[in-house]
Amino acid sequence: MSEKPLTSSVREYLSRRIIRELSEKRGRGTELISLYIPPGRRISEVMANLREEYGKASNIKSRTTRKNVQDAIVKVQQRLKLYDEAPENGLVIFCGAIPGETPGSENIEIHVIEPPEKITLSYYGCDDKFYVEPLKEMLEKKDKYLILSIDNSEATIAVASGRNIDIREELTSGVPGKTSKGGQSARRFERLREMELNDFYRRVAEDLNEVYLQNPDIKGLIVGGPGPTKEIFLDKDFIHYELRKKILVVVDTSYTGYQGIKEILEKASEKLQELEIIKERSLVNSFLKLLSTEPDKVVYGLKEVENAILSGRARLILFSEALDVFIVKIKCDNCGYETAEQHTFQETEILPAKLSSTPCPQCGSTSLRIVEKESLLDKYIEMASNKSVQLELISTATEEGMMLYKGFGGVIGMLK
């Protein structure tokens, strides 16, 4: 069975989360390594640099810091041996000793990330924190949209992401207004005007298709303009069939040109947010409808949904973003007492320190420690992916999203 690709709601969420987690990690000393390898750079060259850095590290005064830095370098080298050359978009590696419960119990963590876009940075650095900023900027980059502003006399094509507007093409139709010049018959004039407009639409569509093919990663097409031209243009069916599927919203504006593009973005952003919300709402509502009409087609609650996925009965899982917790297994080294708790990521970071002064509820000694920590969401993502089940993350911004979280334990499933 092929693995199900992650839905965009899950992908975006995971990117945000990994950056958040990496940026919160701190080393005891200047011993966390960040390494950015751009595409095309030879791994053998990177290895040579790392050998040099290993040598330099022998001058570090603190014995633990020295050992931790050198151990981390070795770990990075081992990982790099798996590559002949940097992957298509380059490679980013974070590695270093993250302090554990007691001094000396550091754990060397390594995070290897193949960035979603090409990196240009070539960097090696050692600090008490990971250098995540370049990656963060890339991952948090706003979605890209293709924007068309059009009326009878002109058209402007732009690619926009966040506040950034990049004007790609500006075209004019050269088509005169609706009234005919003296001497021409009204019908002949109208026919000519139609033909010229049609020709204008073709040129606009050609340019639009070209900009789209150069930017296949755009999230959608947004069309706007004063009057009915935009609808007439879209009805002509001149645009690429794949781009047609990406039309998100059509909005009315007062302006054309650059002003028109800005106006479209403003009006569309409201609608786009609505679209997200509408999507979340309708997902939860389709569950509620099933629950009342065919209750044997739905499940909810962690155990039930997990069983449905593993037995291959589930087709769609809705998971609440608010349920971003870790299942932490805690054990007492003295008497063997065991318990499992749910904690947020921030809580798990301070939990070891807290446990070191918490008496065991069974024997009273302060011997509690974490033996296992697992992200609930990761577990679900893996299960859903293995079983080819669609998994969607739902925010708590809507009433339906809150209901999912509070009323159904944060996770629901619809069955085949």
Binding site for Zn ion (CB under 5 A): 332, 334-335, 337, 360, 362-363
The H-assigned helical ranges of 179-320 are 186-214, 229-235, 241-244, 257-293, 302-310
CA dist., res. 252 & res. 374, Å (int): 49
Q: What residues are paired with 148 via a beta bridge?
A: 157, 223
Least Å distance, CB 359 to Zn ion, is: 8
What is the nearest approach in angstroms of Zn ion to the Cβ of residue 313? Answer: 40
Please give the single-letter amino acid code of residue 70. Answer: Q
Which of 54/337 has CB closer to Zn ion? 337
Q: What single-letter amino acid sits at 341?
A: E
Q: How far is the CB of 330 from Zn ion (least distance, A)?
A: 10
Nearest to Zn ion of 164, 365 (CB atom) = 365
Q: What is the closest distance, in whole angstroms, from the C-beta atom of residue 369 to Zn ion in the complex?
A: 11
Q: In whole angstroms, give the CA distance from residue 288 to residue 294.
A: 10
Closest CB to Zn ion among residues 185, 357: 357
Q: How far is the CB of 354 from Zn ion (least distance, A)?
A: 16
Q: State the minimum distance, in angstroms, from the CB of residue 107 to Zn ion.
A: 23
Q: Which is nearer to Zn ion, 195 or 363 (CB)?
A: 363
Instruction: Give the tokens for residue 404.
Output: 């999912």
Instruction: Please give the structure tokens belonging to residue 409.
Output: 């334990």
Between 311 and 362, name the residue whose CB sits nearer to Zn ion.
362
Radius of gyration of the chain (CA): 28
Strand pairing category for 164-172 and 154-161? antiparallel
Of 238 and 337, CB closest to Zn ion: 337
How big is the CA angle at 341 (ends 403 and 23), to the nearest 5 degrees?
Answer: 85
Q: Give the H/E segment covering residue 379.
A: helix 376-386
Cα separation, 135 vs 114, in Å, equals: 10
Cα–Cα dist 390/279, whole Å: 15
Task: Indicate the residue among 25 and 369 with the shorter CB distance to Zn ion.
Answer: 369
How many CB atoms lie under 10 A from the CB of residue 43? 16
- Coil, strand or helix at 331: strand
With beta carbons less than 8 A apart as the criterion, state whether 320 and 339 touch: no
DSSP 122: -
* Minimum distance, C-beta of residue 48 to Zn ion, in the bound complex (Å): 51
* Strand order across the 164-172 sheet: 164-172, 154-161, 144-150, 220-225, 247-252
* DSSP secondary structure code for residue 258 in this structure: H
Q: Which residues of 189-203 are buried (b: 16+ CB within 10 A; e: fewer)?
A: beeebeeebeebbeb
In the bound state with Zn ion, the residue whose beta carbon lies nearer, of 48 and 363, is 363
CB of 353 to Zn ion, least distance (A): 18
By C-beta, is 153 or 366 nearer to Zn ion?
Answer: 366
- Cβ proximity to Zn ion, 242 vs 333, nearer residue: 333
CB of 105 to Zn ion, least distance (A): 19
Contact 131, 123 (CB under 8 A): yes
For the bound state, the minimum distance from the C-beta of residue 337 to Zn ion, rounded and expressed in Å, comes to 4
